[in-house]
Chain A
Amino acid sequence: MSSSSGRAGGDATDLVCQLDCVQGMVDALSSVRWKRHQDAVAEISEHGIVLIVEDTGCLQGKVYLKRELFIVYEYAAEGRPRFGLSLGLFVDCLNTFSTPGHSPVIEIRYPGPDMQLLLKSVDSPDACIYAEIRTRIPDTISWGYNFEPAGNIPVTFTVRSAVLKEAIDDLEWPGSNIQITLQPDPPSVTFRGDGHGDLQIEFPYHANTDLLIAFQCDHAVSHRFKYKFLGATTSNIPSGVLKENRGSKVTIGRGGMLKIQHLVSVRRPATPHSRGDTSGLQQLGHIAYIEFFVKPEED
């Protein structure tokens, strides 16, 4: 693969990168797309690209695309350039690049002559797809999602992503607010929805080792979250994550801030999927990290 010059035409280009797994990137970005039209802020650095999405100061989603995910990653900026763009358009646009049975190599370049994000397919000389996405100056609001552990020992549990999604989907029926409680004795996690009726879902740690992969809690904590925001954290988990039996990590921080982390595979579809791979450790280079922060409801 020839790497193209990062300084085409003498204009300063902050980033030129190439990717050979468009579908994986679409999956990763779709997992934080909880509305059709949604704005995102992208931040690029020598380590990779981070996309941040936010809703009414209560919910934030982040996608970390590390530089290892790209086959070429040439970063030449000072500081960490940030720009705003429409997440929906970015995903729909990436989708046009992926054709069934063919995984093209695409080049992403920023900024274009008019500060656009430029994309083009580079693997076929006779058929090329290209896109220019208008970017905007990102909002300067401070992102108030400083996550700090609640005590010396983080209060956290890891559960299979499919189980977490199923539980949250089930809680849609009572709707309204969902109370999440972790208690050390007996070690368990409880989701309780109280609205049109009430529904309680309990994950006892010892009863079923398949349910909770990890559990850590030295004192009982309990916080309420709006269902709307909690639902957004799992509503668009790519089906690959569920099939590959991956785990999601849920942590409750100081003040009841909820952090949910998923791992999304970003790799060429040609690679046969290894079954029963729960850790995915051997493929960490091909993982996009997804993080959600949900602010608790104040009582």
Chain B
Amino acid sequence: MKFKAVLTQDGVNLLDKRFLPALDKLGRFCHVFLTPDHAMFLHNLLGGDGVQSVAQFNKDVLFTDYRISSQNADRIAFAVEVAPLNRALRSALTIQAQAGDDTAAIQIKLVKKLSARSREPAPFLTFETKGRSAVVQDVPISKPLSRADVLQIQSALDAAQDLPQTLVQVPDLAQLQSLVERLKNVGDLLTVAITQYGDLHLQVSTSLINVGSEFRRLRVLGVRADPPVSDRNLSAPMRMDMAIQRGEALSVQVNLRHLAKSLQCHLAKPDCAFYGIAPQGACMTVIFQFFIPGTRLTDKSISFYCRLPVLDPG
């Protein structure tokens, strides 16, 4: 099992300033999954009832000189704590800057080393920066995941390809974040409904109070329908109930804290975000979209999405 690559400047910038801070908010530990074509950072794909997140990069976005080999179809996965990973990257960046030479590359590789704490050699992800002198930093990682675990990750990734039929573009992430923070004081159980007319409906209910927010006429991707004229004068909850009855909306219940967590992903500075509900209400899907810098074209080499587990209303 071998992995060695040199980080690109874009890759360093994407990870250091945007993705690693967002991933750290999603969960302290993540899985890194490396394949011959992609590098991925994953949360909760191996069970757990938290928010599943997948940040997938085309290998060329992050690396040059990418070499990977393993007996498991050249795929390697391991767990790592996000904060030390970010720290190592940041200090590698500092060393590179001090060298005053852009060609001072940051190389990462998987190694097994004897550490002060154990007699057995332990696995590390090593950052080697060749500035004036070579500086090596070791970030401890888990043992590589077993073949069975890697298969489970792969099948979870495949299952996540099942896109919601209707996606709506989230209005304003900062505003939504502020709303969700305040709703946390009211309750935990959030009902999310999304219509084919482009309405997003969030409601927190307890035995004493219902508080909700309705965003209308959002951009729709996928299956869409025209809103019935008769709905115009109804209250927001009524309008939503009617849409569900007509089969033109889906609704699920999720944990408000999970939604709040997924909103932290805006630290990765996506250009826009879409919400959808997976077929049969299997989960709530949040898809972040990144544009090729300077254009409005989707950058297909980066994909970032979250899946919020659905709570059993019973």
Where the two chains meet, the residues of A that have a C-beta atom closer than 8 Å to any C-beta of B are: 86, 89, 92-93, 95-96, 99-100, 120, 125-134
Contact = CB atoms under 8 A, between A and B. Distances in A.
B209 interface: yes
Nearest to B210: A132
Interface centre among B171, B185, B207, B236 (most CB of A within 10 A): B185
A134 B182 contact: no
B121 interface: no
Contacts of B235: 120, 130
Contacts of B183: 96
B215 A127 contact: yes
A130 B216 contact: no
Interface residues of B, number: 22
Interface string B102-114: 0000000000000
A99 B176 CA distance: 9
B208 interface: yes
A129 B213 contact: yes
B208 A89 contact: yes
A99 B216 CA distance: 18
28 contacts: A89-B208, A92-B185, A92-B186, A93-B209, A96-B185, A96-B186, A96-B211, A99-B178, A100-B178, A125-B216, A126-B215, A126-B217, A128-B214, A128-B216, A129-B212, A129-B213, A129-B214, A130-B212, A130-B213, A130-B236, A130-B237, A131-B210, A131-B212, A132-B209, A132-B210, A133-B208, A133-B209, A134-B209
Contact of B186 (A93, A99, A128, A134): A93
A92 B179 CA distance: 11
A85 to B, nearest CB: 8
Contacts of B236: 120, 128, 130
The list of the 6 closest CB pairs from A to B, nearest first, reads A92-B185, A96-B182, A131-B211, A129-B213, A132-B210, A134-B208
Chain B, interface SS category? mixed
A125 B199 CA distance: 12
Contacts of A132: 209-210
A129 B211 contact: yes
Interface of B: 171, 175, 178-179, 182-183, 185-186, 207-217, 235-237
Contacts of A96: 179, 182-183, 185-186, 211, 213
Contact of B214 (A86, A127, A133): A127
Nearest to B175: A99
Contacts of A100: 178
A99 B185 contact: no
Given A120-B236, A128-B236, A132-B210, 10 more contacts: A92-B182, A93-B209, A126-B216, A127-B213, A127-B216, A128-B214, A128-B216, A130-B211, A130-B235, A130-B237
A186 B80 CA distance: 72
B182 A130 contact: no
Contacts of B211: 93, 96, 129-131
B241 to A, nearest CB: 14
B260 to A, nearest CB: 13
A126 B209 CA distance: 23
B235 to A, nearest CB: 7
Contacts of B182: 92, 95-96
Nearest to B185: A92
A120 B203 CA distance: 13
A130 B186 CA distance: 13
A127 B176 CA distance: 11
A112 to B, nearest CB: 10
A101 to B, nearest CB: 9
Contacts of A120: 235-236
A60 B210 CA distance: 28
B179 A131 contact: no
A52 to B, nearest CB: 19
Contacts of B185: 92, 95-96
Given A130-B237, A133-B209, A89 B214 contact: no
